Amino acid sequence: MHPTIAQKAPEIAALCRRYGVRRLDLFGSAARGSDFDPERSDADFLVELEDSEGASPRLPRILGLERDLELLLQRPVDLIERHALDNSRNYIRRRSILRGAELIYG
Across-strand partners of 45?
A: 26, 79
CA distance linking residue 5 with residue 44, whole number of Å? 11
Encode pLDDT of 25-36 as tens digits: 999 999 998 888
Looking at this protein, which amino acid is placed at residue 90?
N
Mean of pLDDT values over 7-31: 96
DSSP 3-state of 46: strand
Longest dimension (CA), the chain: 41
For residue 3, the tally of other CB atoms under 10 A from its CB is: 10
List the domains of the chain with CATH numbers. Answer: 3-105 (3.30.460.10)
Rounded mean pLDDT, 78-97: 94
* Sequence-separated (6 or more) residues with CB below 8 Å from residue 33: 1, 2, 3
Does residue 86 surpass a pLDDT of 70? yes
For 31-58, write each residue's pLDDT tens digit. 998 888 888 999 999 999 998 656 668 8
Instruction: Indicate the helix (H) or strand (E) that contains 95.
Output: helix 91-100
